Amino acid sequence: MQTEKSSLLFECVLGASLLGLALVHLQLGPSETTPLETLAYLWQDNGSNVSFAIRELRLPRILCAITVGASLALSGFLIQVVTRNPLGDPGLTGVSAGATFGVAVIITYADPAAWLIISAGIAGGGLAASLTLLLARASGLQHIHLLLAGLSVAIFFMAATSMVMVVERASMQSLYFWMIGGFANKEWVEFNLLWPVALSGCLASFLMAPILGLLQLDDAVSTGLGLQSGLWRLTAAAVSVVLAAGSVAVAGPIGFIGFVAPHIVRKCCRSSSGNPVPIGKLLILIALTGGTLTLAADLVSITLGSFLHAPAGIVVVLVGGACFLALSRDSVRDFS
């Protein structure tokens, strides 16, 4: 009973903050409106500047932030399941860096169509993920080994991206801004690029929910239960790469959401009776938490924007890093 209560409370708080943040976000800007007016503008376009700002600038930006956050959170959770390692995160496993490299190359050397950008991101991310897994596997998939393997892969792809930037100076500036990660100037074009990838990734992870539960067990055990665990681990990893690559292509590499969101959900939904939350519900909560966090980060970035240039990506890293240091204390107990 306790479980139900605490998780219900968490769901309510989560939903309320997501809606509240979105509403506040919609209003932020040079032209002031009341919340009711804002909603009215959403409902109906009256051709005014305010209406344009809300419908064509702020709404897609909000949707992008929520979708990117949800994708990254789910991607992080999938990585945590696949590697059975609580420190999983697309940034920390080199997936984001790989996707960044793929996108940077295609943007610099071609004038690509939208789907090509995403595919390049997926290819780069997939390459990075396989490299990290190979490296970490060679030394046993332990917490720290995965982290360090991911770091080396990330360094490699960052170096490769720098190479592109140094050799093709023309693209340096724009690539640098994109690589920091953020939602400034994200419009419907970007959202239209993002949502099909994010939606299919989310659907795939929900379909896999029952299997994800089994994958949290040891491979020997889950195989004994009749699961082709190797195959499913690969599938889950692929889905997480697609989710991460989509977000990177649109918003640049944003770190730590994939680690922080699942941990917050686990912490908040843990009960005294120890009944775990059903995995389907867990996925929804994680996605919502990721979306809310990213939206909040973007809000902070806009608020700070007047005196400091700090895109959402940076806010996320600073706040998320602090969370990481605090949260990871539990999971890092027996490293030494």
Partner 1 sequence: MIRLLSPYVVIWPGLLVLTCLVSLKTGVTGASWADVLNSLSGDPSEQGHIIATYRLPRVIAGVIVGIHFALAGIIMQVVLRNPLADPTIFGISSGASLAVVCAMSVSIALFQADGALSVSTDYLPLIWIPYIAFAGAVCATVLVLLLALDRRTGLSFSPGKMVLSGIILGAMLNALVMVLVLSLSEARTELAILWLSGTLYARGLSHVWPIIPWTLAGLAGLLVLGGALNLLRCDPQTAQSLGVSLKWERLGLILVALLLAASAVSVSGPIGFVGLLVPHFARLFVPHSFSRQIWVAVYAGAILVVASDTAGRMIAVPIEVPVGVITGLIGAPAFAFLIRRQTKVS
Task: State the minimum distance, in angstroms, from the CB of residue 314 to partner 1.
Answer: 4
Asked if residue 300 binds partner 1 (CB under 8 A), the reply is no
Q: Which amino acid is at 56?
A: E
Vertex 279 angle, CA 193 and 220, to 5°: 105
Asked if residue 174 binds partner 1 (CB under 8 A), the reply is no
- Binding positions for partner 1, 77-96, rule CB under 8 A: 87, 91-92
Write the interaction track for partner 1 spanning residues 233-262; mark x where CB under 8 A is met and - where it is not. ----------------------xx------
> Applying CB under 8 A, what is the total number of residues that bind partner 1?
52
Q: For residue 245, what are the contacts with CB-CB under 8 A and spacing of at least 6?
A: 95, 99, 102, 118, 121, 122, 124, 125, 126, 197
Using CA atoms in the order 154, 66, 282, 13, what is the torsion angle rounded to 10 degrees?
130
Comparing CB distances to partner 1, the nearer of 161 and 229 is: 161
Work out the number of other CB atoms within 10 angstroms of the CB of residue 4: 12
What is the rounded distance in angstroms from the CA atom of residue 109 to the CA atom of residue 265? 41
Task: State the minimum distance, in angstroms, from the CB of residue 325 to partner 1.
Answer: 5
Q: Is 332 left (phi over 0), alpha (psi -120 to 50) or beta?
A: alpha
Asked if residue 155 binds partner 1 (CB under 8 A), the reply is yes
- Binding positions for partner 1, 106-135, rule CB under 8 A: 131, 134-135
Comparing CB distances to partner 1, the nearer of 28 and 164 is: 164
What are the residue ranges of helices labelled H in the chain?
2-27, 35-43, 49-52, 59-83, 95-109, 114-138, 143-167, 172-180, 188-207, 209-215, 219-224, 229-251, 257-269, 279-304, 312-331
Among 2, 31, 139, 216, which residue sits at the site for partner 1 (rule: CB under 8 A)?
139
Among 9, 12, 16, 163, which residue sits at the site for partner 1 (rule: CB under 8 A)?
163
Task: State the minimum distance, in angstroms, from the CB of residue 101 to partner 1.
Answer: 11
Residues that bind partner 1 (CB under 8 A): 87, 91-92, 131, 134-135, 138-139, 143-145, 147-149, 151-153, 155-156, 158-160, 162-163, 165-167, 169, 172-173, 176-177, 180, 255-256, 308-311, 313-314, 317-318, 321-322, 324-325, 328, 332, 334-336
